[in-house]
Chain A
């Protein structure tokens, strides 16, 4: 499968990764290499083999429905970033995490 520079830019945009023109060209080469490896693997005959969704052949462990977490909000919010524009205040208010205004 042939990738184009546009594909690289689209994937980068979807992942919110900034890619310069020169990086895009280099990434195209690397990703093309990875895809050709996948093509080689796809050539292997897997008839009769059940597809796996995880590398380990195990099943999901379950947790009892019991509250085990306590309120650590203040601890967690010590990690909140600063408000920006040279502010020394953290981006939290009234228990909320603050982010730039989102309008739908």
Chain B
């Protein structure tokens, strides 16, 4: 039987605020245990939550970015469960009336093997504001668990999709797109190691063509795209094998073990999902007016989709190039700055995504920390365009710029990389080469095309690589015809 996998994602994005969602305690990462756990965070009796305005604005930003309905009135609810890192005994979340309603994200699924790349729309069911729980620390004291409540109350936006994805590749393409988007609009720092962007993936399988959804298992807390791929592929195989062996799938929460590459069901607790949600009487409904939305809209950056379309139209870039350049705002801004400093757009795109991206990757740094700024890159590209240096020499200048050896023109002068474009001088070199390589000339005249390239090589060598290769070609052609 042919099977189809059905995937939906729930993503917890930590909002880029200074303080917690319901109190004025800092959310800075890495502080000493409990030094950022105020009376609200540790749930002392008598404290009251007050909503952080910035958290609301982040939610509005996200809603606008995915073209979603933003609820004029949304309600905070208590999700009740007991766990030591949740001292109140409930998490403040949103249930029936979330702040962000239905929206959509367009994803680009990359080509895999014989399958070509394609575009797909993933529908967003909802996004709601909630607080994070604290952290349990094991092993600090024998026989005990330590509780650090610094994270308790950190603002999260939980973004839930429809079960729209049909492969691990689609799920990862969506997660990456969302990861880019929340950083683009500045609501999340996207740091997956620190847990700022965590994905829960719901996976089920069904016979291909069936309309009915299979029973799903939820893979919790995936914090890398690589693990997400591995976990979904393993889980899908496991579910298909279980069903083909005549078994059934029990709804469960599973954890992915990166060491074994396997998913394993967590001990299922009875009534584990009986959260008894009810509206939190400590919080009034969150009212968002048209004016609130307009204020946020005014601060919104141009969105990646719009920028991509603009790059295609304004700079005549291919859809592929425009898409790659709009994966992050820093990258897009760098590209624009390079073009605005006078470089050719297509050439800038090639260098930003080629040589520069490769170097940033090799040095494990980001474009915002690049030692070569956009103006320097533009100057380098201009020196290629005006024939001052060859492409090969440009690579050397690039390396020198990276090592902060000076300006483009200083480096070209210091390294003697200026290419010879004086046609008289090149002609003299070509004449010498032709005289010294009579055998090659004969071969070429006898119809051996390869001999021509060998002659070009000799001329380049004779000029110590400085002759303009295009001119060498032209002059040689003329002399040999």
Determine how close the nearest CB of chain A comes to the CB of B333; give it in whole angstroms: 25
The answer on a CB contact under 8 Å between A59 and B284 is yes
The answer on a CB contact under 8 Å between A62 and B147 is no
Those of B19-73 within 8 Å (CB) of chain A = 19, 23-26, 32-39, 42, 44, 50-56, 73
B interface residues, tally (CB under 8 Å): 56
Determine how close the nearest CB of chain B comes to the CB of A29; give it in whole angstroms: 22
Q: CA A91 – CA B401 in complex, angstroms? A: 57
- Taking CB atoms, residues of chain B closer than 8 Å to A37 are none
Determine how close the nearest CB of chain B comes to the CB of A94; give it in whole angstroms: 6
The answer on a CB contact under 8 Å between B145 and A14 is no
Asked if B276 is at the interface of the complex by the 8 Å CB criterion, the answer is yes
The answer on a CB contact under 8 Å between B24 and A63 is yes
User: In the complex, which of the residues B44, B56, B75, B147 contacts A96, with contact meaning CB atoms closer than 8 Å?
Assistant: B147
Asked if B283 is at the interface of the complex by the 8 Å CB criterion, the answer is yes
Q: CA A53 – CA B98 in complex, angstroms? A: 13
- Taking CB atoms, residues of chain B closer than 8 Å to A63 are 24, 50-53
The answer on a CB contact under 8 Å between A59 and B286 is yes
Given A94-B140, A96-B146: A59 touches B34 (CB 8 Å cut-off): no
Given A60-B286, A72-B38: A98 touches B25 (CB 8 Å cut-off): no
A interface residues, tally (CB under 8 Å): 38
- Taking CB atoms, residues of chain B closer than 8 Å to A67 are 18-19, 24-26
Interface membership of chain A positions 69-104, coded 1 if the CB is closer than 8 angstroms to chain B and 0 otherwise: 101110011000000000000010111111111101
- Taking CB atoms, residues of chain B closer than 8 Å to A73 are 34-35, 37
Determine how close the nearest CB of chain A comes to the CB of B26; give it in whole angstroms: 5
The answer on a CB contact under 8 Å between B23 and A69 is yes
**Closest A residue by C-beta to B44:** A76
The answer on a CB contact under 8 Å between A96 and B33 is yes
Determine how close the nearest CB of chain A comes to the CB of B1; give it in whole angstroms: 35
Asked if B143 is at the interface of the complex by the 8 Å CB criterion, the answer is yes
Asked if B281 is at the interface of the complex by the 8 Å CB criterion, the answer is yes
Q: CA A101 – CA B145 in complex, angstroms? A: 5
Q: CA A98 – CA B85 in complex, angstroms? A: 11
The answer on a CB contact under 8 Å between A54 and B284 is yes
The answer on a CB contact under 8 Å between A95 and B285 is no
**Closest A residue by C-beta to B38:** A69
- Taking CB atoms, residues of chain B closer than 8 Å to A68 are 19, 24
The answer on a CB contact under 8 Å between B271 and A71 is no
- Taking CB atoms, residues of chain B closer than 8 Å to A46 are none
Number of CB contacts from chain A to chain B under 8 A: 132
**Closest A residue by C-beta to B286:** A60
Asked if B480 is at the interface of the complex by the 8 Å CB criterion, the answer is no
Determine how close the nearest CB of chain A comes to the CB of B56; give it in whole angstroms: 6
Asked if B120 is at the interface of the complex by the 8 Å CB criterion, the answer is no
- Taking CB atoms, residues of chain A closer than 8 Å to B276 are 14
- Taking CB atoms, residues of chain B closer than 8 Å to A14 are 80, 271, 274, 276
- Taking CB atoms, residues of chain B closer than 8 Å to A66 are 18-19, 24
Interface membership of chain B positions 66-95, coded 1 if the CB is closer than 8 angstroms to chain A and 0 otherwise: 000000010110001011100000000000
The answer on a CB contact under 8 Å between A61 and B50 is yes
Determine how close the nearest CB of chain A comes to the CB of B264; give it in whole angstroms: 11
Determine how close the nearest CB of chain B comes to the CB of A3; give it in whole angstroms: 15
Q: CA A88 – CA B329 in complex, angstroms? A: 56
- Taking CB atoms, residues of chain A closer than 8 Å to B38 are 69, 72
Those of A16-72 within 8 Å (CB) of chain B = 16, 53-56, 58-69, 71-72
Asked if B149 is at the interface of the complex by the 8 Å CB criterion, the answer is yes
Interface membership of chain B positions 117-148, coded 1 if the CB is closer than 8 angstroms to chain A and 0 otherwise: 00000000000000000001110110111111
The answer on a CB contact under 8 Å between B53 and A77 is no
Q: CA A37 – CA B45 in complex, angstroms? A: 30
- Taking CB atoms, residues of chain A closer than 8 Å to B23 are 69
- Taking CB atoms, residues of chain A closer than 8 Å to B17 are 65
Q: CA A73 – CA B138 in complex, angstroms? A: 20
Q: CA A15 – CA B275 in complex, angstroms? A: 10
Determine how close the nearest CB of chain B comes to the CB of A69; give it in whole angstroms: 4
Q: CA A60 – CA B289 in complex, angstroms? A: 12
The answer on a CB contact under 8 Å between A97 and B283 is no
Determine how close the nearest CB of chain A comes to the CB of B453; give it in whole angstroms: 65
- Taking CB atoms, residues of chain A closer than 8 Å to B26 are 67, 69
- Taking CB atoms, residues of chain B closer than 8 Å to A93 are 140-141, 144, 146
Determine how close the nearest CB of chain A comes to the CB of B123; give it in whole angstroms: 27
Given A56-B284, A96-B33, A98-B141: A10 touches B267 (CB 8 Å cut-off): no
Asked if B303 is at the interface of the complex by the 8 Å CB criterion, the answer is no
- Taking CB atoms, residues of chain B closer than 8 Å to A62 are 50-53, 56
- 20 A-B interface contacts by CB (under 8 A): A55-B281, A59-B286, A61-B50, A61-B51, A61-B284, A62-B51, A62-B53, A65-B52, A65-B53, A69-B25, A69-B38, A72-B39, A73-B35, A73-B37, A76-B39, A93-B141, A95-B34, A95-B148, A96-B33, A101-B144
Known: A56-B284, A76-B37, A91-B144. 12 other contacts (CB 8 A): A13-B271, A54-B284, A61-B50, A65-B52, A65-B55, A66-B24, A67-B24, A73-B35, A77-B34, A95-B148, A96-B147, A104-B267
For the complex of A and B, the 10 pairs showing the least CB-CB separation, nearest first, are A96-B146, A68-B24, A65-B54, A95-B33, A59-B287, A69-B38, A62-B53, A69-B25, A53-B279, A97-B147
Q: Which residues of A are in contact with B by a Cβ distance under 8 Å?
A: 10, 13-16, 53-56, 58-69, 71-73, 76-77, 91, 93-102, 104
